[in-house]
Amino acid sequence: MPYPRGAILADKEAYPKRAIYSLTGHSIEGDKRTTPIRGDLADIKLAGKLFAPHYAVPMLRTGIAPVTEIHAEPHLSSMPVSALMHGEEFAVLDVAGEWAWGFCLHDDYLGYLRFADLGEDFTATHVVSAPATLLVAQPSIKAPVLARYPMGAQIVCGEPSECGKYLACENGWVPTAHLSEIGKVAGSPADLAEKLVGVPYSWGGRSGDALDCSGLVQLVFGLKGIKAPRDADMQQASFGEHLPEGEALQRGDLIFFPGHVGMMVDGENLIHANGAAMAVSIEPLEAAAARFDKHEVPVLARKRVGL
């Protein structure tokens, strides 16, 4: 069902106050990471499917910080589970104090983030396709820096500068070389991943500033307009096609290990955000697989995603 861009509580025309929802048969079961329900509240779309004391109509908002961590619980010391980038939409189901609870529109992933990092919706024109870019006060290499945007951030750009090297955006200027029109990002997912070698590893990261293994995969395919699930096990289950046993690996193929995923840069080498290097790195697939030798099956799946 489409979500209105208004209050969290349902309006009486779309959802009458006296509407009664009843459960019939067995209630559905869903992944707790993407099924929008908690002990006291659920998304209105689950009414009649899962019981909750209250249901809410999501309020759509858009990320206005360069990147915002999404947490498992509503406090900064809680484990980060994902991230929302500038220009991405977030469906708010509840606001308590400075924290909002809801889910990302691009992958349905649930969590808590600071409500102040959300703003009114806007239509982005460009996406950062370099590892990162800088918003500067004037179209000059000597201008002061106003903000940093990582790869994946979506922004609204206007006219180019007289020199043609900058685009006007966000009350400042961004180098044209760091941007691509949305839907027109050049290169393959593997090409984009290689730009990110050296980016620090961080659990829950999915931007050019910090990445975890599945965040890297989601980011580079997302830049090409291909939506991937958030976590490695989700990607293994529903993203791409399984490769027949014995088929030679190609650039861009995904390799799944227990709790981990990486991408082939050629027939023998893997690029992945990993805790061993604490960064995005390239190494032989054989070396990466050896770290999972304690598992009965070190490599769980090999998959290929059509572009």
Residues 2 and 90 in one domain: yes
- For the chain, the first-to-last Cα distance in angstroms comes to 28
Residues 213 and 300 in one domain: yes
Domain boundary among 97, 122, 147: 122
CATH code, 152: 2.30.30
Residues 45 and 113 in one domain: yes
CATH code, 298: 3.90.1720.10
36-49 pLDDT tens trace: 999 999 999 999 99
Cα angle 131, 136, 141 (rounded to 5 degrees) comes to 85
Residues 172 and 234 in one domain: no
Q: What is the DSSP letter of 53?
A: S
For the chain, percent of residues with pLDDT exceeding 70? 91
Residues 15 and 102 in one domain: yes
Residues 130 and 155 in one domain: yes
CATH code, 116: 2.30.30.40
Q: Which domain holds residue 238?
A: 189-304
The whole model's pTM is what? 0.91
The half-sphere exposure of 152 on its side-chain side, counting CA atoms within 13 A, is 32
How many distinct structural domains can be found in the chain?
Answer: 3
How far is it, in rounded angstroms, from Cα 27 to Cα 51? 8
Q: What's the pLDDT score for residue 24?
A: 52
Q: What is the DSSP letter of 37?
A: B
Q: Alpha carbon of 151 to those of 3, 18, 27, 54: distances in Å?
A: 28, 47, 40, 38
Kindly give the confidence (pLDDT) of every residue in the chain, 307 residues in length, as a single tens digit, with 9 standing for 90 and above. 445 444 454 433 444 444 445 555 445 568 999 999 999 999 999 999 999 999 999 999 999 999 999 999 999 999 999 999 999 999 999 999 999 999 999 999 999 999 999 999 999 999 999 999 999 999 999 999 999 999 999 999 999 999 999 999 988 999 999 999 999 999 999 999 999 999 999 999 999 999 999 999 999 999 999 999 999 999 999 999 999 988 999 999 999 999 999 999 999 999 999 999 999 999 999 999 999 999 999 999 999 998 7
Residues 257 and 196 in one domain: yes
Domain boundary among 181, 200, 227: 181
Residues 110 and 199 in one domain: no
Residues 167 and 254 in one domain: no
The CA dihedral of 268, 271, 273, 275, to the nearest 10 degrees, is 30
Residues 210 and 250 in one domain: yes
Residues 199 and 223 in one domain: yes
Domain boundary among 161, 181, 201: 181
127-169 pLDDT tens trace: 999 999 999 999 999 999 999 999 999 999 999 999 999 999 9
Residues 233 and 176 in one domain: no
Q: What's the pLDDT score for residue 197?
A: 98
